[in-house]
A and B are shown apart, each in its own frame.
Chain A
Amino acid sequence: MEDEQIVQLYFDRNEAAISETKTKYEKYLMKIAYNILFNSEDAEESVNDTYLSAWNAIPPHRPEVLSTFLGKITRGHAIDIYRKQHADKRIPSEYCSSLDELEDCVSDSSSVEDNLEIKRLGEVINVFLKDQSEEARNLFIGRYYYSDSLKDVAAYYGMTEARAKMILFRTRQKLKTFLEDEGFTV
């Protein structure tokens, strides 16, 4: 079913919206959640919460791109679960590894502590990413948004993991400089 039709089901308050969403996007959403949580049951919980959140959000919201809309919700739910659990134990997920890699860009010494600043940071990241090569941009988003493994992101372009690692390293270095130039205390 086309995304527009699925969205219309939500607007019609037709519960088939959930089943159609599940049919089309469950695998995609499970991958996002699993990369973060490294646990199938928890990933499933995140994905089920996603369906409920989508049901509550649509309407009034009409997502332009349903896949990324759902993916963002799943990522948010999964990260919430991750943080609750991570307080007690280290979760050896790809998200955890990718988060560690991001330490290159930040010092952890200060905090943004403001949702508006986080949003502005997001906007700056968008500007930065648009200025990167397609290859570097997709590797970066794949690794740090989707938390795909190094092996997976390398496979995007049929390159070696070493090369992907190198490109990611360079991109993180550039991002750090860019954020500093934009006035962020990293």
Chain B
Amino acid sequence: MKKEELSDAMSYIEDELLEETNNVRSHPRGSALHARRYGKIVRFAAIAAAAALVVGIGYGTVSGVLNKSSQKKEAETIDMQVASQNAFMNDAVLSVTSTAAGAGEGKKSTVPEITTSDSYIGAREGDNGNGDSYGEADELKAYEWVGKSITQTSCKADVTVFRNKENLYADGTWSLEMMKDDEWVEIYNCSFIDNTVFTNSDLNNISSTDTTTTFEQVFDWSGYGELASGTYRIFEMFYTFNGNNCENEYIPVEINFGITVD
């Protein structure tokens, strides 16, 4: 099939669907929601920052870095600010701008470890026609490193599957993807993505009375060397659950996402 043929076939899209899209085109929701969402995210960012500082949870060293700062050993500051916004509060894009002494001078800087312990509660009710449920989380975080290179050593994600039906079995994948300056980093061949397959036995280990289980996978990106300066957006856990009893099931997945930077 040729792409032109696919395009031609779209002339058969039904009026009802075209009309629906026309309505959205004519009345884009962006401008109306922008302010409201932005407000939410500002609040979220403030809460997240406060939580990280006070509790120091996760793989957290934000507080550690701030201690360094307070000790004035290095002129490092973390300026947490809302860089952009996304559709939902849980998708808040938080920019962590690190300014370190020597930054931009070709000297390898000590980039503070940046910690997040945000949970993404995502669930989609989906059915791909084979009784499979699927879902995908959205953009998790964006980090901006200014004037320096970094080596990203690992990224860790905990996924909690809330089991809501007995005899659920599944094969699945999950993945973590990145964008740099709004360009996908090798998304198409997925070589940047570490996929983990949940085997049947993984899920079968959940007893019928259990409601949750946790899978953990460390994404080791050390082989990719130093990443150039820029804004990196960490995108979505893409997960699928294929198997029986998934049809039309609502499978909440909680993702605890952490990132560590050398």
Chain A positions near chain B (C-beta within 8 angstroms): 64-65, 67-69, 71-72, 75-76, 79, 83, 99-100, 102-103, 105-108, 110-112, 118-119, 121-123, 125-126, 129-131, 134, 137-138, 141-142, 144-146, 148, 152, 154-163, 165-166, 169-170, 174, 177-179, 181, 184-186
Q: Are A99 and B4 in contact (CB under 8 A)?
A: yes
Report chain B residues within 8 Å CB of A67. Answer: 19, 22
Within 8 Å by CB of B20, from A99, A111, A134, A184, lies: A134
Is A126 touching B12 in the complex (CB atoms < 8 A)?
A: yes
B25 touches A156 (CB 8 A): yes
Question: Could you tell me if B17 and A129 are in contact, using CB atoms closer than 8 angstroms?
Answer: yes
Main secondary structure of the interface of A (DSSP, over half): helix
Q: Is the CB of B21 within 8 A of A65?
A: no
Cross-chain contact of B9 among A118, A134, A160 (Cβ < 8 A): A118
CB-CB under 8 A from A157, the residues of chain B are: 24, 28-30, 33, 87
Q: A62 CB to closest chain B CB, in angstroms? A: 13
Any A CB within 8 A of the CB of B233:
yes
Given A68-B15, A125-B10, A145-B13, 11 extra CB contacts under 8 A:
A72-B11, A111-B1, A121-B1, A137-B17, A141-B17, A156-B30, A157-B87, A158-B30, A162-B139, A163-B91, A163-B139
What string of 1s and 0s marks CB contacts (under 8 Å) between B213-238 and chain A? 00000000000000000000101100
**Top 9 closest pairs, chain A to chain B, by CB:** A122-B12, A158-B30, A121-B9, A122-B9, A141-B21, A155-B30, A102-B3, A65-B15, A68-B18
Answer whether A122 and B20 are a contact pair too, CB < 8 Å, given A107-B1, A169-B187.
Answer: no
Determine whether the beta carbon of B235 is less than 8 Å from that of A158. Answer: no
The reply to whether A146 and B19 contact each other, CB–CB distance below 8 Å, is no
By the criterion of a CB under 8 Å from any partner CB, how many residues of chain B are at the interface? 49
A125 to B13, CA, bound (A): 7
The closest CB in chain B to the CB of A110 belongs to B1
**Distance in Å: Cβ of A39 to nearest Cβ of chain B:** 19
